[in-house]
Amino acid sequence: MEFEAYLDALASADPTPGGGSAATLVGALGAALCAMVARITLASPKLAPVHDAAAAVAADADALRGHFVALRPHDEAAFQAVVAAQALPRATDDQKAERQARLQQALIGAAEAPLEATRRATELFALAARTAELHNANLMSDVDCALRFARAAFDASVANVEVNHRFIKDAAVVAEQCGRLAELKHAAHESESRALAIVAG
């Protein structure tokens, strides 16, 4: 989807795309910024000692951007499944039971999609730290922007996981997903702190 068309869709009265989808786009922008910094670094003879590291950052950033782009329609489809389940008939007990089962399954999927985006945002923090470690002083503001995009994508994705947890009745599923979230929050904080220390000089 072209960017302007996507923004029009995001601004429309349709429930999808929504916040989870937008979070993946923000993550992709952060990854793209890391790739830009790496490629400009590769073009600088003065930074030849970090060219190998810059090449690796550029390749990993392109791959991560692709993951974020692929997650966008996945998130939209996951939420659309919730909307579809909510629209199921509930005139009889059997219909109510079927609707409830379908809705619970859809809600778990709707939490799983932004949980995967949270994982990718955690990878973006680590990538931004590696980008900062290239020490291209002229582009440190771009690294800072990538970090802020990582934080926005991470926080928005976490919010979308947690809002679905309010409605999921399977406590074991919620506990398992919360466990993964806790691990990701710790890893994200470690990488973010490392990168911020470099950006701040």
3-class secondary structure per residue, 91-156: CCHHHHHHHHHHHHHHHHHHHHHHHHHHHHHHHHHHHHHHHHCCCCHHHHHHHHHHHHHHHHHHHH
Longest dimension (CA), the chain: 73
pLDDT-based confidence at residue 55 (cuts at 50, 70, 90): very high
Tell me which residue range forms the domain holding 138: 3-199
CA 61, 67, 72 angle in degrees (round to 5)? 130
The total number of structural domains that make up the chain: 1
135: left (phi over 0), alpha (psi -120 to 50) or beta: left
Q: Which pLDDT belongs to residue 201?
A: 85
In the predicted model, what is the mean pLDDT of residues 143-166? 98
How confident is the model over 14-37, as pLDDT tens digits?
A: 999 999 999 999 999 999 999 999
| Residue 138 C-beta-side C-alpha neighbours within 13 Å | 8
Residue with tokens 């389940």: 85
Is residue 197 predicted with pLDDT exceeding 90?
A: yes
Is residue 1 predicted with pLDDT exceeding 70?
A: no
Q: Which pLDDT belongs to residue 108?
A: 98
Give this prediction's pTM.
Answer: 0.95
Omega before residue 17 within 30° of 0, cis: yes
Percent of the chain with pLDDT over 90: 98
The CATH number linked to 184 is 1.20.120.680
